[in-house]
Amino acid sequence: MRSLNLYGEQDIRFEESRDPVIESGDDVIIKVKSVGICGSDISRYKKLGPYVEGMTFGHEFSGEVTAVGDNAIGFKKGDCVTGCPAFYCGKCESCQKGELARCENLHVIGAWRPGSYAEYVKLPAENVIHLPDNVDYDTAAMVEPSSVVAHGFYKTSIQPGAEVAIMGCGSIGLLAVQWAKIFGAKKVYAIDIDNTKLEVAGEVGADVLINSMEKPPHEQIAEHTDGKGVDLAVESAGSPITSAQVFALPKKGGEVVFMGIPYADINIERFYFERIVRNELRVLGSWNAISSPFPGKEWTSSVHYMSTGQINVQPMISHRLKLEEGPETFDNLINRKGNYVKVLFHPEEG
């Protein structure tokens, strides 16, 4: 089968790999219809992380079941599905307490197990999720990032009528705009330095668009909130700069939830750090997308709100490409060539 395999730093190759086969009774083999590039994929491509040389990359996907093991109850050939790419050990202290996202041995496909930048992918039945008829494959390829965002929102104490600021309008931020509305936000502020991404944020429901290159974001937020700030600020850019700036956005007693992953040291100016203390902020970290019972309500909720149209990913998709375009696309992304928002591959095209 055609696949994209990672061999080293900035070395991803389009090549033939072996088709997956049923080896266990709970195996489900899926023909990948749509698979997305995650921000973590780009970071791993640039700097590496846990991986096996030559491993098939990728983990955000949807597709059609082509084969099932004898114990894969509830699945049959032809089912339209998506998959949770995460694996937990079930044995560590966190797993024993049902805190699966905190598993000591948490990993996703594309690292130690073959991923979904391929024509086919294999998962255990418990990782596979049925899709309703009105959720298309491109939308379903984004159930995983949507679940990441939902996982973070479920940690907060946001109430209907809240005001929410989303810092960073990549895929996670654009989904956060929509999840804020689902959780009842009356006003959502989208913050970025890229006007193209801000335009998309407006399309998916942001009420106020803020370009932080024009004026510090906390000053712009203050102008819209009578100097008070927002109830909840979401850091979804993963930038060392925004990871400090976000502390100046909430009101006294407000919350910050970190969903972005910074890949550099964070140096926080006194002004921003003091906002945590003086405003008695509640600061939350959010990791991965799974909870108990596995894979968690994040996944069922994401599929539900995609089926109702309350999560609309179509404006976010900037590119639909063939797998063979993968190496060039990754190079373009890290070198900032082109106007990318969300990139999807369609492996069966080629």
- What would the pLDDT profile of 296-318 be if each residue is shown by its tens digit? 999 999 999 999 999 999 999 99
Average pLDDT over every residue of 136-156: 98
What mean pLDDT, rounded, does the chain reach? 96
Taking the whole predicted model, whether its pTM rises above 0.85 is answered as yes
Please give the pLDDT value at position 338.
87
Please give the pLDDT value at position 7.
94
Average pLDDT over every residue of 272-295: 98
pLDDT in tens, 206-261: 999 999 999 999 999 999 999 999 999 999 999 999 999 999 999 999 999 999 98
Q: What percent of the chain has pLDDT over 70?
A: 99
Please give the pLDDT value at position 48.
72
Q: What is the 3-state secondary structure (H, E, C) of the chain?
A: CEEEEEEECCEEEEEECCCCCCCCCCEEEEEEEEEECCHHHHHHHHHCCCCCCCEECCCEEEEEEEEECCCCCCCCCCCEEEECCEECCCCCHHHHCCCHHHCCCCEECCCCCCCCCECEEEEEHHHEEECCCCCCHHHHCCHHHHHHHHHHHHHCCCCCCCEEEEECCCHHHHHHHHHHHHCCCCEEEEEECCHHHHHHHHHCCCCEEEECCCCCHHHHHHHHCCCCCEEEEEECCCCCCHHHHHHHCEEEEEEEEECCCCCCCCCCCHHHHHHHHHCCCEEEECCCCCCCCCCCHHHHHHHHHHHHCCCCCHHHEEEEECHHHHHHHHHHHHCCCCCCCEEEECCCCC
Where are the CATH 3.40.50.720 domain residues in the chain?
148-285
Please give the pLDDT value at position 262.
84
Please give the pLDDT value at position 51.
75
Average pLDDT over every residue of 111-127: 97
Task: Pick 2-142+313-345's CATH classification: 3.40.190.10, 3.60.130.10, 3.90.180.10, 3.90.550.10.
Answer: 3.90.180.10
Domain 148-285 in CATH 3.40.190.10: no
Among 77-86, 127-136, 337-346, name the one with the lowest average pLDDT: 337-346
